[in-house]
Chain A
Amino acid sequence: MTQSFIHDDRDMGTPAKEGAPVTLTIDGFDVTVPEGTSVMRAASEAGLKIPKLCATDSVEAFGSCRLCVVEIDGRRGTPASCTTPVAEGMQVRTQSSRVKDIRRGVMELYISDHPLDCLTCGANNDCELQDMAGMVGLRDVRYKSGKNHYDISGNGTLAQGDARARAPMGDLGNPQYIPKDESNPYFTYDPAKCIVCSRCVRACEEVQGTFALTIEGRGFDSRVSFGAKTDNAMASDCVSCGACVQACPTATLQEKSVIELGTPERSVITTCAYCGVGCSFKAELNGDELVRMTPYKHGKANRGHSCVKGRFAYGYATHNDRILNPMIRDSIDEPWQEVSWDEALTFAANRMRGLQEKHGRRSIGVITSSRCTNEETFLVQKLARGVFMNNNTDTCARVCHSPTGYGLGQTFGTSAGTQDFDSVEHTDVVIVIGANPTDGHPVFASRLKKRLRAGAKLIVIDPRRIDLVKSAHIDAAHHLPLRPGTNVAVVSALAHVIVTEGLMDEAYIRERCDWDEFQEYADFISNARHSPEANELLTGVDPAELRAAARLFATGGNGAIYYGLGVTEHSQGSTTVIGIANLAMLTGNVGRKGVGVNPLRGQNNVQGSCDMGSFPHELPGYRHVKNEDVRNIFEDAWGVKIDPEPGLRIPNMLDAAVEGTFKGLYCQGEDILQSDPDTKHVAAGLAAMECVIVHDLFLNETANYAHVFLPGSTFLEKEGTFTNAERRINRVRKVMAPRNGYADWEVTQLLANAMGANWQYTHPSQIMEEIAATTPSFANVTYELLDEKGSIQWPCNESTPEGTPLMHVDGFVRGKGRFIVTEYVATEEKTGPRFPLLLTTGRILSQYNVGAQTRRTANVAWHDQDVLEIHPHDAELRGINDGDFIKLASRSGETALRAKITDRVSPGVVYTTFHHPDTQANVITTDFSDWATNCPEYKVTAVQVSQSNGPTDWQEEYNAQAEQSRRILPAAE
């Protein structure tokens, strides 16, 4: 029933190494491991556990606890097995009276300064100190209680509870005692339980790369500290990724949930439902109560690491705001009425069918969710194509990475990102353009930073000085702070330098690309108008810096480009993606480890939702609906006739709604009113529809305009798969029953059947079978293979039965790589006297997208409102002080929020996030969009900033409407 799917995830003591095989003998057993492996790890490989405290396999060995000492023939003394590398023919003994005595002595010393509250300790049953005391056979502590760190009153008791009971009120008789730091909402730091093994400090450095923790003092005074002595966890640089908690062998750094709920007894491997990194987690539970989420060591995207969202921010799943019963209403000014599933589905089906009868087949459509599973998304687009009988299906990728689909499709022949995340370990020069990985893709950022600390060079192209430009032990070689909207000009200028200075990889281009097209491109790009000097006025980028960056990228070894929505969400988004592909081809950087073009996808399953045919012009597997042979595959499978015409994209749906030809929408797991640009236009479109079905966890903003609400289920409550940014298909496993009664795929099936379909799926694996049968890139994917391998990167078919970590290895998917000319065209969104500043938007670490999930967790402790970043110069001109309420206005609308004065943004540029509906940053953004895909131009809006007293009229009206719309009548008896 409750299988865990955990592959062996023991702590091997020290990290795995790569190298030539070395054979040694440990306790009489031969073991062969790669050169460079520690004796400790070799013993673990042989199934022999050596006691240890300061070693763990997520960080390099440190050799401080001396518990792991062993004897090695021919070597003097008792070396620490964690820091001793293996050697050919080595003879090791892990148990001898000498090492056993040493270990007991070490343990005795540790325990002499550790409270003996084991039974009431948060780590009871999950404490390595406890385990080691047992393993070494510690039976007595001969030291008298003396100077120590745990006894609050200094009156000589061994247990803290006893000490508190015996101490006079408020007596802090022990100056060494430091009270627990409970400032972080998710974990506590209890210095009294610390054994100063430094695992937390090393995890913060090596795994996360934040360097928030340090050891203060020397000898007996050594203490773990969050930066300065006076800082607590929340006041420090800590990003709450949980790496230190994961590494801590005792209760010193402990999840508050474990303290509250007890240690978990079962775990299930599943996949995080936040960003496109797609980290694997162990959901650890008692019964169906989730105790904690811990990063899974064998997760191939995250390799045992996590961020504050995936690790801790899952509380929304049980938040009181969740809607668990279906609701309907005739019109949006009425309160909601709770009804049975049957009644809600019949109401929805009748309305949708009625609209089609009255307004035509193409008057209704769907929006698939990039947060739901592949199987669920597949069913929603199938609902449009096979039940609604039109292609009106789209997904939030429209507003994020649709230009990636177009740009990489045109140049390489597939929209697929070219690498896996492991590839970054082989990179020498990284370009990060229009992405902020430390906030948006934090676990990938940690892996990138690890590589940068090992010597790789970094070029950041971004209007803001993002954290990667300069942070602990990271210093970008070049930061090109371009003016928003000039990506094409900057990317072209980089290519200009590479071509005119002869730095391109001609042999690669001749072999892999179309040479004639390259020559046309080379002629175009060599023109002096593309030079960094000619472009400077436009882009604001120092030409010398740009030239140096181009030279570094072309000559610095393996070059990889990582990009995000700062590239795509522009009127020339597709052109910039093409320009990035050109750069990679020019420098020979596609088709092997360490290089490539890497779109950092936003949502957990945005890759999957695109793969599954969510776009209105493409059936699953990116095949255009105009192709009869492709339609035939699905027509045969589904027994219906598929419309050969492309359907409406999200912005087109809204336009059609306003003009009265689009009347009904089934929107699964997406909040277009908050996330899509030009809120007033979105609201007008929704208000004009006659049947809006919102299928979600919460009454989101879009639901303010809905007629039917179908309760959704969380990722913890269903089976399925997510596909991350590296095309990795990961299993999502049900760890608890859906609180709303149904998994989302079941709800879609119920709706389809209420509309006359006869779907009979009883498990998502059957949907995956249908996907595999109809979609060549998924042909070999099965749940059995996923369980066996852990994950699979598509394409996975006859020629690549175990998946494809790297694309274009022997040549581009389309045959010859295609260079395409990228002329810069200025956006129509221009600054002027009324709107002199440029607004660009983004997100921050602790919040996710529209915040529907993270706002319902303790993550609000880090970001409880959106703020506007403004340069001191622009603030001073306007008389704005830090923290002031300001009005932000564009030609689309206006809102008010607080100002944060910072030189992270350049003069003339302001920045905010869109996580809070009270601010609704998208009331400001415009309806301009990418020329090829209609991806909105979120990243460039001409705005004015002025002083304000409080919320704008629009905000007040919006909130009043939202409140009115969220009324729920009690269910009829």
Chain B
Amino acid sequence: MQPEKMVSMANQIATFFETQPGTGQAKKVADHINDFWEPRMRIQLFEHVDAGGKGLSPLALDACSYVRMPAD
């Protein structure tokens, strides 16, 4: 998908969890992405982060370290 769209989707998720009380928000964002994003979407996210992660909010960027790399 268009990178801007993907970035905006990741940021939307991060925005929700950012408002939640408690700690470990990056993990919660990543859990959501792991549960709902198909492997090629997650791969695209990793590629975008490797290319500098332009546009991703700090929390979304943080979350990427907890996003699971698809096995195949």
Contact = CB atoms under 8 A, between A and B. Distances in A.
Interface stretch (A77-85, A290-298, A929-937): A929-937
Contact of A575 (B16, B37, B41): B16
Sorting the interface of chain B by its residue count into under 10, 10 to 19, 20 to 34 or 35 or more gives: 20 to 34
Interface in B1-47: 1-2, 5, 8-9, 12-13, 15-16, 19-21, 32, 34-41
A656 B1 contact: yes
B24 to A, nearest CB: 15
A927 B37 CA distance: 17
Contacts of A88: none
Given A655-B1, A821-B20, A931-B13, A648 B8 contact: no
A102 interface: no
Contacts of B58: none
A953 interface: no
Interface in A731-757: none
Interface residues of A, number: 34
Contacts of B38: 362, 391-392, 616, 645-649, 652
Contacts of B15: 825, 931
A520 interface: yes
Contacts of B1: 652, 655-656, 658-659
A66 interface: no
Contacts of A647: 38
A357 interface: no
Interface SS of chain B: helix, strand, loop or mixed?
Answer: helix
Nearest to A626: B35
A629 interface: no
B12 to A, nearest CB: 4
A661 B16 contact: no
Contact of B36 (A820, A927, A933): A933
From B34, B36, B70, B71, name the one whose CB has the most chain A CB atoms within 10 angstroms: B36
Given A648-B38, A655-B5, A932 B21 contact: no
A392 B41 CA distance: 13
Nearest to A578: B16
Nearest to B10: A931
A391 B70 CA distance: 14
B63 to A, nearest CB: 13
B21 A821 contact: yes
From B15, B36, B38, name the one whose CB has the most chain A CB atoms within 10 angstroms: B38
A675 to B, nearest CB: 20
A821 B2 CA distance: 31
Contacts of A820: 20
A648 B1 CA distance: 12
Nearest to A661: B40
A647 B20 CA distance: 27
Interface of B: 1-2, 5, 8-9, 12-13, 15-16, 19-21, 32, 34-41, 70-71
Interface of A: 362, 391-392, 520, 524, 571, 575, 616-617, 624, 626, 644-649, 652, 655-656, 658-659, 661, 820-821, 823, 825, 828, 927, 929, 931-934
16 contacts: A362-B38, A362-B40, A617-B35, A645-B71, A646-B38, A649-B38, A652-B38, A652-B41, A656-B1, A656-B40, A658-B1, A821-B19, A927-B5, A931-B16, A932-B36, A933-B36
| Closest 10 pairs between A and B when the two form their complex, measured CB to CB | A655-B1, A931-B12, A823-B19, A520-B21, A648-B38, A645-B39, A931-B16, A821-B20, A825-B15, A931-B13
